[in-house]
Amino acid sequence: MTLVVAKVTPHQIVMLADTRIQSPRQKRALPDVRSGSLKITFVASNVAIAFTGDPDIASAAIEDIRGGCTSFQSVISVLKNSSRGSGNEYLVGFAGPKRLFHVRGGEAKERRVAFIGDSVGFERFQSGPRAAPQDDSWHATMIGPDVQDQTLVHDQLARLQSVLEDRSILSVGDFFTVALSDGGTFRFPSVATMFFDAESRLLAPDGSALLTSTDERRHRFTTWYPRQRGLASSAFVFPDAQRAFVFYQGTPFNFANQCEMFDGLVGDQLADEIERRIGIRFEVFEIRHV
């Protein structure tokens, strides 16, 4: 399962998803976060597609789109065929003019707000962040550059993070992806979060922390976006732990289901090593505790 949510605002389309890939046949053991996938991809600069269900079926649909045409009718037709009898569902956004469609069971319906995936996770998303425990823990998040509807995007991201942190929802978790339409094209923004006096928010399915906070009980987490616009890849960076997980596309324009881990590097040195190993140059986006 998974959780993908999307909304059409007066200015743009906002799409968010987790990265956990979990099969119903999978035992409740701890999966490696590197086995996940970015569930949002761009088949053209103005077309974003998200999926839930079988990753292989979703990838085959993207291949069909790439082998044909990315026009409105062609994209919808391929996804309708892919969802017919497969159990896969899709959200597809067109950046200009702004249109959002939910595709399942061979049918496509236009929506202003939609979700696919885990219904329990979506209920948790709808309930919003819960009050923090009385331990003076808090965090601050920055999204950029030049993001419209800042308040709404922050709200949607806070809601998704509350699902990722919920130990009772095993089928939604690990990292997150935010995709925004901007001037008729889609892109991933950078996101940076500073946690103060709080334990790590990257949790395994059993609720244990995959990365712990520093001795000062605070840490930073950032997502970097590629310099090449329209490339659906992300680097999830933990500067204090000097660790990064980079998701990239094994096949161009498909879902980023390949992951490389980097240790012992930060800033420009990390960006240089990522470019050397996988050929993608990421914008360095850092914030610091003071």
Peptide bond into 97 cis (omega under 30): yes
- 28 pLDDT band (50/70/90 cuts)? very low
Least confident of 54-68, 80-94, 118-132: 118-132
Q: What is the pLDDT of residues 126-185, one digit of tens each?
A: 998 876 554 555 677 889 888 889 999 999 999 999 999 888 898 899 999 999 998 899
Residue written as token pair 């890939």: 21
What is residue 74's predicted lDDT score, i.e. its pLDDT?
96
At residue 263, does pLDDT exceed 90? yes
φ, ψ at 174 (rounded to 5°) = 70, -125
Helix and strand element counts for the chain (H, E): 5, 16
Round to whole Å and give the CA distance between 133 and 257.
35
The DSSP letter of residue 183 is T
Where are any strands of DSSP class E within the chain? Answer: 3-8, 13-18, 40-44, 47-52, 89-95, 98-104, 107-111, 113-117, 138-144, 176-182, 185-187, 190-196, 218-224, 234-238, 243-248, 258-263
User: Which domains does the chain show, CATH number per domain?
Assistant: 3-278 (3.60.20.10)
User: What is the value of pTM for the model shown?
Assistant: 0.88
Residue written as token pair 């095993």: 170
At residue 47, does pLDDT exceed 90? yes
What is residue 183's predicted lDDT score, i.e. its pLDDT?
84
DSSP string, 264-287: S--HHHHHHHHHHHHS-PBPP---
More confident residue, 201 or 206: 206
Q: What is the pLDDT of residues 94-127, one digit of tens each?
A: 998 899 999 999 999 999 999 999 999 999 999 9
- Secondary structure (H, E, C), 15-28: EEEECCCCCCCCCC
What is residue 3's predicted lDDT score, i.e. its pLDDT?
96
User: What's the mean pLDDT when you consider all of the chain?
Assistant: 87
Structure tokens at 258: 């390949």
Round to whole Å and give the CA distance between 11 and 54.
32
Round to whole Å and give the CA distance between 265 and 224.
14
The H or E element spanning position 236 is: strand 234-238
Q: Which CA distances in Å does 154 have to 24, 207, 266, 268?
A: 31, 24, 26, 27
Decide if 15 contacts 178 (C-beta within 8 A): yes
Q: CB within 8 A of 59, min separation 6: which ones?
A: 251, 254, 255, 257
Round to whole Å and give the CA distance between 229 and 251.
17
What is residue 88's predicted lDDT score, i.e. its pLDDT?
96
What is residue 132's predicted lDDT score, i.e. its pLDDT?
55
- 198 pLDDT band (50/70/90 cuts)? very low
Peptide bond into 145 cis (omega under 30): yes
Residue 105: Cβ within 10 Å count: 13
What is residue 206's predicted lDDT score, i.e. its pLDDT?
57
At residue 200, does pLDDT exceed 50? no
What is residue 32's predicted lDDT score, i.e. its pLDDT?
79
At residue 230, does pLDDT exceed 90? no
At residue 211, does pLDDT exceed 70? no
Residue of 100, 95, 4 lying closest to 52 (CA atoms): 4
Q: CB within 8 A of 41, min separation 6: which ones?
A: 48, 49, 50, 62, 232, 249, 253, 254, 255, 256
